[in-house]
Amino acid sequence: MTATQQTPAAHRDGIAQTLRDFLAKNDPTAMSAIEFLGRRFDAGLAWVHAPVGSGGLGWERGLQADVEQAMEAAGAEHADIMRNPIGLGMAAPTVLAHAAPELKSRLLRPLWTGEEMWCQLFSEPGAGSDLAGLATRAIADGDDWIINGQKVWTTYAHISKWAMLLARTDPSAPKHAGMTYFLLDMTTPGVHARPLRQATGQADFNEVFLDDVRISDTYRISEPGAGWSTARTTLVNERAIIGGSEPCREGGHMGRLTEMWRDRPELRTGDRFGVVVDAWIRAEVARLSNERTRQLMVSGEPGVEGSGAKVTAATNNQIITRLLAQLDPSAALDYDDWSVEYDAAIRPETFHYLRARANTIEGGTTEILLGQIADRILDLPRELKLDPNLPWQDIPK
């Protein structure tokens, strides 16, 4: 009986034995995190639902929880998405769902170990919220494509090895139908990333210029002109990751707010009590609601629920960071060197307040996501669109 023919109960017994055998031969405390993660990938314990050879065993997604519990008990470093957030959170599910086996074999292992960072070449100066209006061109040239254009707000482009790239291949088609999805080696000649310094002092966003970049057709992971449906895999995972990434009570920004509130009684005035309690309730409601989003991510591709989680997380972050700055304005202003890449654990409240401004824009603007929720969850009348069937080249720019 093959693994794919076994019953779920047999799979659960099988994963338990697989974990015992693996940990008996691989002590996570006796090797580097990268080496251990590599061995874990090779054993099919990165994503158990993935195909054999792609970091998985072809078993049920629900068994991943068993893997994580066993790894934690063995003292292994947590498979933290922050090692390679765009790679693990967005590229991995896209590559697993759409790429050819040889690309999965080449790309997924160093993505999983964090040895190769990923970025997302989607947004453009003239196509942010209206992503389908993008203008970067990819023109076929034999077995290659020649790509020209500009992308912007590309997180980690300056340190990434690989990128997910959406480009226009048929300007005569309607804007959603004329795009194609590629994977791009960021070291390819003609790729130039320029970091953008933000108000926080960070420079993790970039603008990226693509000048006669030649890419093999083997790195195309959608049918020509069908890139939008592939991009949706990336986008729904992005929104679920951003919105559903705070699993613990009083974690993140809320944890700092409750610590300040409890440790400094002089701040607990009557006019502040209601707003702090309101913020705590918002955070707790979001945490409980996000359990649903995380379950969807385990059981399969998340849906529009991820958009709701992202909207809520962005709004809550801005409310809570503003409260923190208001409660302790002297500490909030203690930000002397605006060029320093502050460690997350010691960043002053000014950093968090300013950084939260981006939350309602990045990963899909709040306005766009509310429109999706209205259309696809609440079944409200759709907003009138004037150009859905108009060729992209005929749309006024």
Which CATH class for the 231-376 domain? mainly alpha
pLDDT, position 4: 41
How many angstroms separate the CA atoms of 351 and 331, rounded? 11
User: What are the residue numbers of the active site?
Assistant: 238
Kind of pairing between the strands at 205-216 and 191-196: antiparallel
The strand ranges marked E within 96-136 are 118-121
> With a threshold of 0.95, does the pTM exceed it?
no
Which CATH class for the 118-226 domain? mainly beta
* 317: nearest Cα among 252, 221, 367, 245: 252
How many angstroms separate the CA atoms of 298 and 292, rounded? 10
pLDDT, position 336: 57
pLDDT, position 341: 53
What are the two backbone dihedrals, phi and then psi, of residue 180, each rounded to the nearest 5 degrees? -135, 145
pLDDT, position 299: 54
Name residues whose C-beta falls within 8 Å of residue 152's C-beta, 6 or more positions apart in sequence.
Answer: 123, 124, 125, 128, 196, 206, 207, 208
Per-residue CA distances from 146 to 116, 143, 190, 214, 230 (Å): 24, 10, 10, 5, 20
pLDDT digit string (tens) for the chain, length 397 residues: 344 444 466 677 889 999 999 999 999 999 999 999 999 999 999 999 999 999 999 998 888 889 999 999 999 987 778 889 999 999 999 999 999 999 999 999 999 999 999 999 999 999 877 899 999 999 999 999 999 999 999 999 999 999 999 999 999 999 999 999 999 999 999 999 999 988 877 788 999 999 999 999 999 999 999 999 999 999 888 877 766 565 678 888 899 899 999 999 998 988 899 999 999 999 998 888 777 666 655 555 566 777 788 888 899 999 999 999 888 877 666 655 555 554 544 566 778 888 898 888 888 888 888 888 888 888 888 877 777 789 999 988 7
For residue 18, with 0-12 CB atoms within 10 Å meaning exposed, 13-18 middle and 19 or more buried, which class applies? buried
pLDDT, position 247: 60
pLDDT, position 362: 83
* 200: nearest Cα among 47, 348, 380, 7: 348
Which long-range contacts link 38-47 to residues 24+ away (Cβ below 8 Å)?
Answer: 38/109, 38/112, 38/113, 40/71, 40/76, 41/108, 41/109, 41/112, 41/113, 42/109, 43/18, 44/18, 45/18, 45/19, 45/71, 46/79, 46/108, 46/112, 47/92, 47/96
Other beta carbons less than 10 A from residue 117's beta carbon: 22
Tokens for 113?
């170990």
Beta bridge partners of 137: 148, 168
pLDDT, position 14: 85
Beta bridge partners of 35: none
Helices and strands in the chain: count of H runs, count of E runs = 13, 7
3-state secondary structure 332-357: HCCCCCCCCCCCCCCCCHHHHHHHHH
Asked if residue 138 lies in contact with residue 180, where contact means CB atoms within 8 angstroms, the answer is yes
For residue 264, with 0-12 CB atoms within 10 Å meaning exposed, 13-18 middle and 19 or more buried, which class applies? exposed
